[in-house]
Amino acid sequence: MQKNKSLVLGITGGIAAYKSAELVRLLVKANIDVQVVMTEAACQFITPVTMQALSGRPVFIGMWDSSIDNGMPHIELSREADAILIAPASAEFIAKLVHGRADDLLSTLCLARDCPLLVAPAMNKQMWGNAATQRNITQLKTDGVSILGPDSGDQACGEIGLGRMLEAEELLGAVNAHFTPKLLTGKRVLVTAGATLEMIDPVRAITNLSSGKMGYAIAQAASDMGAEVTLISGETAIEPPKNINNISTKNADAMYQAVMKNIAKQHIFISVAAVADYSPAKPSMQKIKKQESSLTLELKPNKDILAEVASLPNAPFCVGFAAESENLLEYAEVKRKAKKLPLIVANLAADAMGSDENSVTLLDKNGVHPIKRAPKIEIARSILQHVAKMV
């Protein structure tokens, strides 16, 4: 079994420390071992007891903690960590990092580390914009430190501007991206996601129950693995991942046009979108009025986006998805062979649609490869690891 990643979470003095409690919860849920180290100032904003309860580990604050066998927590804590994240990182602590000061446990272990350092700034907008702070941030980047944020918005002082610490979910994403092997560096990946909406009249449409969560997870995981990602999305209620090229579409034809416009020079095409197989042949320009008699709709087949891409002369590596209600592996393999796909991902529609979790089976020329039920972002990483090996 693969060992969990280990993270030292450093918390400095600032009101954004309240976000660190949620961050610890999310990190632990993501199977990341979290060791919290706090400055004395941080304890004025949130208690060590809270952080201990959430992380399941004692919280370290002072340099002279006797619970460390050799009396050197600044060495032991950094040696056990795969990375150190300072969140929130105050202006004062950022200055300490730049100048190599080591006057408390957190600054000392940062100086003594032999692992990557990530810093999430949090401060008033004037403090962030101050020339001294900007010089310090530039120097940290030069020193190889990863700077996460800050964001813009309402601040505790009542002002609005740049300086807010990123939200816990965004920091979790940054940590996951940091820990993800960059297996797709140099690759361009096009992903389709979400449901298409085929209008019957101005107020009615044919669609499906796809939430877009799996496709968005694929796009996020591909970006985390170093790929240049384009996401072409149909209808969905979720926010697209950051740092990717996001293209919104409505219906199957619009998605087809967007894919064909962007498919050139792509290395990998992953068709996750639930594209409607049919659309109304003659959508009404006016709302169809209810009548006592039955209503008959004439439907025409939509273009098969995946099949057309797979048949291109210089087709990218194509991955399809098969959501079935029965005979899962049989139907998925028929689809894979019919469209001449190197890989297809099969799942039961009832288990996947709208859920935050999924279980899938990969089918390629070498057989079947089941992936047990897990959060969709973890499923996405497993799928892309398999893709990376095949590519």
pLDDT value of position 354: 67
Alpha-helical regions (H) of 242-366: 252-262, 305-310, 328-338, 349-352
| pLDDT tens per residue, range 207-220 | 888 888 999 999 99
Average pLDDT over residues 289-307: 90
- Bond from prior residue into 48 cis (ω within 30 degrees of 0): no
pLDDT value of position 108: 92
232: left (phi over 0), alpha (psi -120 to 50) or beta: beta
> The pTM is what?
0.80
Could you give the domains of the chain?
Answer: 6-179 (3.40.50.1950), 188-390 (3.40.50.10300)
Whether residue 389 has pLDDT greater than 50: yes
What is the distance between the alpha carbons of residues 176 and 13, in angstroms, rounded to a whole number? 25
Whether residue 70 has pLDDT greater than 60: no
- Among 199, 194, 305, which Cα is nearest to 248's? 194
Average pLDDT over residues 315-344: 92
| pLDDT tens per residue, range 79-88 | 788 999 999 9
pLDDT value of position 290: 86
Residue with tokens 């944020």: 149
H and E: helices and strands count for the chain? 14, 19
pLDDT value of position 77: 76
Alpha-helical regions (H) of 2-153: 17-29, 48-55, 73-79, 91-99, 105-111, 125-129, 131-142
Whether residue 109 has pLDDT greater than 70: yes
Helix (H) or strand (E) holding 296: none
Q: Catalytic positions, please?
A: 157
